[in-house]
Amino acid sequence: MLTHLSIKNLAVIDSAQIDFTNGFNILTGETGAGKSVIINSINIIKGERCSKDLIRTGQTSARVDAIFEVSPFVKQEIEEKLGIEIEDDEVMISREFNLEGKNNVRINTIPITTSILKEIGESLVNIHGQHDTSKLLYKKNHIAFLDEFGGENLNNIFEEYKAIHTRYIEVKEELESLSEDENEKARRLDLLKYQIEEIEVANLLPDEEDELIERRNLLANAQKISKCALLAFDYLYDGENCHSSAHDNIWNAIKQIEEISGFNAQIETILKELTDITYVLSDNSHALKKIADNLDADEYELANIEERLDEIYNLKRKYGNSINDILAYLKDIKKEYEDIENSDERIKKLEEELKELELKRLKKATDLTLCRKKNAKILTEKILDELKDLEMAKTVFEVKIEDCEFTLNGKDDVEFLISTNVGEMPKPLSKIASGGEMSRIILAIKSVITTEKYANTLIFDEVDTGVSGKTAQKIGEKLYAMSKDNQVICITHLSQIASFADNHLFIEKKSDDGRTATTITPLDEERRIDEIARILGGEVITDLTKENAKEQLEMAKNIKEKTEGK
């Protein structure tokens, strides 16, 4: 749902802040007041191309900001596309463009490209009018709309078909992978056998490399380690080559402290800690001597270690960055070797499964086609009924379903076709020239097909073109009914439609100091009566037109209350 739109320096709009509500939002105003700028600004936020000619005269750039509350489906789609987490189900899109043609696009302050914005925009807003970019126009989406209309029964068949088709593709791909020629199999087996033997004969151990490197460092520096360790032992404990050792000096100090330990508690603590130090000193001193005594610069052992490390490095270069990686690779290639050796048996099983899946897939796809055709007939009848209400009784609408190759959607090629002129063959929806016709056709379809997956903000422009009276009221009723499940924003010139608004916005053009500017004002009850009266009677508002306006608003209110009660 679009909750807020901010426009800066766009065409006749200097600065505008527009708050939209859920339900039915209506925009009215005089011709040329700037209603089309609102549509342009939303198209800009959707990622459509924007011309620098839209920048207000005298300015170097224009900016549009929009805040949306998004459904869980759209939220997930945006999070997956951008790799971000959306908090509070709210998305803010900003787009600024300048005279040099540069665009600055952000979503929740994160920079994105206009191509990504266009993908996201299709899921946020559908605009229906002269330049319709609705998902309904594109043939690729028609099968999904038909399935949505089909409800739970069709969806269950579809899910069963998808599961069978997915498994069919998996089995087919595995068969293709296994069905290599015998020469290629033999070459692969020879390579795997060589690699397995090379790794296994090395008899690698997980922590072996670290232990070898540590031992090599000891042996390579044996002379220095031995000399320093023995000298340290002498200084710390033995004292043979110096006047006295650290151990002897501490014991001499302890003897002196023992003489006075009974006089002070702190001295007793010091005595205890120094005594503990002598034990630690003794243990570590003898540990150093043991290292020195046991260390022998064995050139033969060092050579063996270097040879073993070279072997490990060679295997790492071929099969992994560590011994653990090499052992994991060994496990994988042993399994592959076993699979290839047993591939003939596996191929036979897969071929049997594939034949069974082919029959199941065909049956389920046929069930799906029959269900779609049944629902297509019902859908066609309902949409034609809606079009009759909208003064398009001679319009032909049909759902064309033709066979195609098996896909994840079945074996049906689905397209919505329409003809608005008697005698003309039905054409794709995208070929409709009139914006007014387009809006009413989309309104009819949307009145029948509702889905939470797609954008729940629907904008109708020119929906009232070429209609009046009873038809205009029907359009108002249908738009209001649609607004119970979607946010609807409609630009209209007709009072019958405007009377149904939950949120009525008035667009007005003013001139000040030689500059023209557009303002957008939410109308209270009194001003709304004046605006409906203006639409009914023009600039001069009389008591009679005001009474007619009140009567029209009251009638719309009664219809809305009846709709609420359904």
- φ, ψ (nearest 5 deg) of residue 15: -155, 130
Fold observed for domain 2-129+448-525: Rossmann fold (3.40.50)
Give dist(CA 155, CA 157) in Å, integer: 5
Neighbours of 278 (CB within 10 A): 17
Convert the pLDDT of each residue in 98-119 to its tens digit: 999 899 999 988 899 999 898 8
| CA nearest neighbour of 315 among 471, 183, 197, 446 | 197
Output the pLDDT for position 239. 67
Q: Are the C-beta atoms of residues 148 and 480 closer than 8 Å to each other?
A: no
State the pLDDT at residue 36: 82
- Residue 402 β-bridge partners: 413
Closest of 36, 45, 51, 49 to residue 98, by C-alpha: 51
Q: What does the pLDDT read at residue 544?
A: 92
Give the integer Cα–Cα distance in Å for 244 and 228: 18
pLDDT of residue 303: 86
Question: For residue range 511-549, what is the model confidence (pLDDT) as tens digits?
Answer: 776 677 788 999 999 999 999 999 998 778 889 999 999
Q: What parts of the chain have a pLDDT lower than 70?
A: 129-134, 223, 239-243, 296-297, 433-435, 450-455, 513-514, 565-566
CB of 96 within 8 A of CB of 62?
Answer: yes
DSSP string, 325-354: HHHHHHHHHHHHHHHHHTHHHHHHHHHHHH
* Global confidence as pTM: 0.64
Q: What is the pLDDT of residue 528?
A: 96
70 within 8 A of 87, measured Cβ to Cβ: no
The Cα–Cα gap between 467 and 477 comes to 14
pLDDT at 243: 64
CA distance 236 to 229: 10
Whole-number Å distance between alpha carbons of 372 and 55: 48
- The answer to whether residues 175 and 347 touch, using CB atoms and an 8 Å cutoff, is yes
Domain boundaries in the chain? 2-129+448-525, 201-337
pLDDT at 232: 81
Alpha helices in 450-524 (DSSP H): 469-482, 495-498
Q: Helical H runs in 179-298?
A: 182-202, 208-220, 222-233, 246-260, 265-294
- In this structure, the chain runs to a length of 566
pLDDT at 455: 63
